Amino acid sequence: KNQVEQSPQSLIILEGKNCTLQCNYTVSPFSNLRWYKQDTGRGPVSLTIMTFSENTKSNGRYTATLDADTKQSSLHITASQLSDSASYICVVSRKTSYDKVIFGPGTSLSVIP
């Protein structure tokens, strides 16, 4: 079954600290993996898109990694800020499904002063 799982479910960190969020997927055949940031009550905003051949991609303080062999991805946030408080969602596309993507449940991150 094509699924995306994320851990932890929620995380609280101090402002300025780093953190890493995990995503595991069983989606096949794999096309790409996206990380989105979703503020409460808002639409998701894209952070990174990674294809099979990419194993690291950065976007400012966000760095995503992908291991297509183990079907795992991580999102590392460096020097966290209060504005990083949001849900971070891992989304996977299949090669055989051009437009339908599979969302993970998200990790809720709270950055506290």
Partner 1 sequence: EPEVTQTPSHQVTQMGQEVILRCVPISNHLYFYWYRQILGQKVEFLVSFYNNEISEKSEIFDDQFSVERPDGSNFTLKIRSTKLEDSAMYFCASSEGRLADSYEQYFGPGTRLTVT
Residues that bind partner 1 (CB under 8 A): 31-32, 34, 38, 41-46, 49, 51, 89, 93-95, 97-106
Smallest gap from Cβ 96 to partner 1, in A, equals: 8
Residue 19: count of CB within 10 angstroms of its CB = 19
104 or 111: whose CB is closer to partner 1?
104
Smallest gap from Cβ 67 to partner 1, in A, equals: 18
Smallest gap from Cβ 85 to partner 1, in A, equals: 17
13 or 49: whose CB is closer to partner 1?
49
Of 2, 65, 8, residue with least CA distance to 30: 2
Smallest gap from Cβ 34 to partner 1, in A, equals: 8
41 or 60: whose CB is closer to partner 1?
41
Max CA separation in the chain (angstroms): 45
Q: Is 10 exposed, middle or buried (0-12, 13-18, 19+ CB in 10 A)?
A: exposed
User: What's the residue count for the chain?
Assistant: 113
Contacts of 91 (CB under 8 A, 6+ apart): 4, 33, 34, 35, 36, 101, 102, 103, 104
19 or 104: whose CB is closer to partner 1?
104
